[in-house]
């Protein structure tokens, strides 16, 4: 297939597909090696990182220790966290927070000048570094965008969205095939490519992610035969604000860390019925509890009137603005909440240095599956994992400049019509969401097969197919994956690894 334009990167330049926290931090840390960053939108727009409210978890408090952080990470992950990775992110996290401070991120400090650290669910210590309550993601992205624009070794190309990976048919990657805003194809050739494109939340009707997060990395990597890990593990945030917005605004877990609690429509606190840790139980437990309350017709609301009250505009400005825009004054009334697809624990499988199974291809951030999060990610560990692995990929690629040129090809993935994507999102929320069963998953698998036969293997359909296939095969409940027909965990905890031969799509490199 011919492309409308070819962009051949210099031999030493690394192609970074995606411009969220992981992509930009990696680009900055690669210096002096050159980086070309592709962003589908102007920098900072449509990047889930900028919407992160909680912050970045790191063992920085006087009574904390990376070992404790690793233990909490492993406990939250329901048997599937790789302990080596948990120890690694906990150990390297504090240094990466210092890196972000050096880049100008204005983390909150106490009166005596130490970092102010908050408590979030399932953490045994307060360890979440925040910015002005709920503005961590926005502040981190502002600092990184400023540094990126000023960096001579980084070239940012805005308006290019990846459609497929350029591959040699034998597990080697040589760049990405992109589509620009005028729908022209651009072939971006590079010796090293890093996927940093975010997750899959947009495959669901109710999500806290940008709707454009529809699993492009998962689909493109699977298409070329790279190993995919744990695709069935999607995390549902318990407290998206239920005001009929798409995407749904988040009410950060830090609200419950600060004493807000969940009630039903009658004002009854219900979390003690579900877990001894009550409102601070692990995220999957709280999400299922809220799902049950809503399904039973009792509704679910977050009551922060006493815990936050008049301080709302200063302490949680993003949540406050979202609520007020829908006529909900959280100082005076409980906030209506519902679970929403929030984070993908699964993704393109990587090793401890961010390498995928395909040569010349790395992955970082939400689209990667490093083993850090298992079946259920601990709150605020996502930004942590992103910076730790971005730093490790930069370390590796700064010294490893020997990737060979490859003769590669690709076809742009087909686009599914918007009504098909709407139906997909509804089906995923209904059948591959907080509560799943064989019947709903099988029906969705059949619908996906028909949709692919009719419209081709569009990336959102392929990504959804990976999630649904693995969810159907996992006949147990674990972390974020709950099967009402198999409600107990299996006897052994085993991660999912899928790898198929490169799809025969008629491309002959
Ligand atoms: C939150 O602030 O509740 C979300 C943070 C996270 O996803 O870790």
Which of 273, 308, 341 is the endpoint of a domain? 341
CB of 254 closer than 6 angstroms to any ligand 1 atom: yes
Give the domain extent around 293: 235-341
Distance between CA atoms of residues 371 and 326, nearest Å: 38
Give the tokens for residue 43.
Answer: 């920098």
Q: What is the DSSP string of 62-121?
A: TT--HHHHHHHHHHHTTT-S-HHHHHHHHHHHHHHHHHHHHTT----B-TTSSBPEE--T
Q: Which of 122, 124, 143, 116 is nearest to 50 (CA)?
A: 143
Q: What is the CA radius of gyration of the chain?
A: 22
User: How many angstroms does the Cα of residue 152 sit away from the middle of ligand 1?
Assistant: 33
Strand partners, 109: 115
- Mutation probe of ligand 1 site: the residue of 237, 322, 372 with most atoms within 8 A of C-beta: 237
CB of 208 closer than 6 angstroms to any ligand 1 atom: no
User: Which of the residues are catalytic?
Assistant: 283
Q: What is the CATH number of the domain that holds 295?
A: 3.90.700.10
Residues 6+ apart with CB under 8 A from 238: 253, 283, 286, 287, 289, 290, 337, 339
- Backbone dihedral region for residue 45 (phi beyond 0: left; psi -120 to 50: alpha; all else: beta): beta
Q: Which of 395, 384, 382 is nearest to 354 (CA)?
A: 395
Q: What is the DSSP string of 429-463?
A: HHHSSSSB-HHHHHHHHHHHHHHHHHH---HHHHH
Is the domain of 325 the same as that of 250? yes
Q: What is the DSSP string of 342-392?
A: EEES-EEE--TTSB-SSBTEEE-GGGEE-SSSTTSPPTTHHHHHHHHHHHH
Structural domain contains residue 191: yes
State residue 178 phi and psi, 5-degree precision.
-120, 165
Count of CA atoms in the C-beta half-sphere (13 A) of 485: 13
Tell the burial category of 155 from Cβ atoms under 10 Å away from its Cβ (0-12, 13-18, 19+): middle
pLDDT per position in the chain (509 positions), as tens?
A: 567 899 999 999 999 999 999 999 999 999 999 999 999 999 988 778 778 788 999 999 999 999 999 999 999 999 999 999 999 999 999 999 999 999 999 999 999 989 999 888 889 999 999 998 888 999 999 999 999 999 999 999 999 999 999 999 888 999 999 999 899 999 999 999 999 999 999 999 999 999 999 999 999 999 999 999 999 999 999 999 999 999 999 999 889 989 999 999 999 999 999 999 999 988 999 999 999 999 999 999 999 999 999 999 999 999 999 999 999 999 999 999 999 999 999 999 999 999 999 999 999 999 999 999 999 999 999 999 999 999 999 999 998 877 888 888 888 899 999 999 999 999 999 999 999 999 999 999 999 999 999 999 999 999 999 999 999 999 999 999 999 999 999 999 999 999 876 654 544 44
User: What pLDDT, on the 0 to 100 scale, is given for residue 169?
Assistant: 86
Is the domain of 49 the same as that of 160? yes
Is the domain of 321 the same as that of 357? no
User: How many angstroms does the Cα of residue 38 sit away from the middle of ligand 1?
Assistant: 26
Which of 399, 416, 444 is the endpoint of a domain? 399
Atom nearest to 380 CA in ligand 1: 8
User: What pLDDT, on the 0 to 100 scale, is given for residue 503?
Assistant: 56
Is the domain of 242 the same as that of 335? yes
Strand partners, 186: 5, 178
- Mutation probe of ligand 1 site: the residue of 21, 48, 53 with most atoms within 8 A of C-beta: 53
Structural domain contains residue 411: no
Give the H/E segment covering residue 312. Answer: helix 312-315
Q: What is the CATH number of the domain that holds 18?
A: 3.50.50.60
Q: What is the DSSP string of 211-237?
A: TT-S-HHHHHHHHTT--EE-TT-EEEE
User: What pLDDT, on the 0 to 100 scale, is given for residue 506?
Assistant: 41
Distance between CA atoms of residues 170 and 280, nearest Å: 48
Strand partners, 263: 269, 301
Distance between CA atoms of residues 224 and 509, nearest Å: 12
CB of 380 closer than 6 angstroms to any ligand 1 atom: yes
Is the domain of 350 the same as that of 320? no
Is the domain of 161 the same as that of 191? yes
Query: Measuring CA to CA, how many Å separate 35 from each of 8, 343, 359, 361?
Result: 13, 27, 18, 14
Is the domain of 217 the same as that of 337? no
Q: In what order do the strands lie in the sheet with 234-241?
A: 234-241, 335-344, 301-303, 261-263
CB of 54 closer than 6 angstroms to any ligand 1 atom: yes
Place of tokens 């419209």: 455
Furthest-apart CA atoms within the chain: distance in Å: 65
């Amino acid at each position: 297939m011919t492309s409308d334009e070819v962009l051949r990167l210099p031999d030493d330049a690394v192609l970074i597909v995606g411009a969220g926290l992981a992509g930009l931090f990696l680009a900055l840390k690669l210096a002096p090696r050159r980086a070309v960053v592709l962003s589908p939108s102007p920098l900072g727009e449509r990047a889930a990182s900028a919407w992160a409210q909680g912050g970045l978890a790191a063992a920085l408090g006087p009574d904390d220790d990376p070992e404790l952080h690793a233990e909490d990470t492993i406990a939250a992950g329901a048997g599937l966290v790789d302990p080596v990775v948990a120890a690694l992110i906990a150990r390297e996290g504090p240094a990466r927070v210092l890196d972000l401070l050096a880049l100008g991120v204005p983390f909150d400090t106490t009166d005596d000048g130490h970092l102010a650290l908050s408590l979030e669910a399932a953490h045994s210590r307060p360890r979440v570094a925040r910015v002005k309550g709920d503005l961590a993601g926005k502040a981190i992205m502002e600092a990184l965008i400023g540094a990126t624009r000023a960096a001579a070794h980084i070239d940012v190309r805005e308006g290019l969205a990846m459609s497929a990976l350029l591959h040699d048919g034998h597990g080697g990657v040589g760049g990405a095939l992109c589509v620009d805003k005028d729908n022209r194809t651009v072939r971006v050739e590079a010796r090293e490519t890093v996927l940093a494109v975010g997750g899959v939340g947009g495959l669901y009707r109710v999500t806290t992610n940008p709707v454009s997060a529809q699993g492009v990395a998962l689909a493109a990597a699977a298409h070329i035969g790279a190993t995919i890990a744990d695709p069935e593990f999607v995390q549902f945030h318990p407290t998206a604000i239920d005001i009929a917005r798409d995407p749904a605004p988040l009410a950060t877990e830090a609200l419950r860390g600060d004493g807000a609690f969940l009630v039903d429509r009658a004002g009854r606190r219900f979390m003690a019925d579900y877990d001894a840790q009550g409102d601070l139980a692990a995220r999957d437990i709280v999400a299922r509890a809220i799902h049950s309350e809503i399904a039973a017709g009792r509704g679910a609301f977050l009551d922060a009137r006493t815990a936050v009250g008049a301080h709302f505009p200063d302490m949680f400005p993003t949540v406050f603005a979202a609520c007020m825009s829908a006529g909900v004054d959280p100082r005076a009334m409980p906030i209506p909440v519902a679970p929403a697809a929030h984070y993908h624990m699964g993704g393109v499988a990587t090793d401890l240095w961010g390498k995928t199974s395909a040569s010349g291809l790395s992955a970082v951030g939400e689209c990667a599956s490093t083993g850090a999060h298992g079946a259920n990610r601990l709150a605020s560990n996502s930004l942590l994992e992103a910076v730790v692995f971005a730093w490790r990929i930069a370390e590796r690629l700064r010294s490893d400049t020997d990737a060979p040129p490859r003769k590669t090809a690709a076809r742009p993935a087909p686009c599914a019509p918007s009504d098909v994507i709407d139906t997909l999102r509804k089906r995923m929320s209904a059948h591959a969401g907080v509560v799943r069963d064989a019947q709903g998953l099988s029906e969705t698998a059949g619908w996906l097969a028909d949709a692919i036969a009719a419209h081709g293997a569009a990336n959102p359909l392929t990504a959804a197919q990976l999630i649904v296939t693995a969810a159907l095969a996992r006949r147990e409940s674990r972390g974020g994956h709950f099967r009402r027909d198999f409600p107990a965990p299996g006897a052994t905890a085993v991660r999912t690894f899928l790898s198929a031969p490169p799809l025969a799509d008629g491309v002959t490199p």
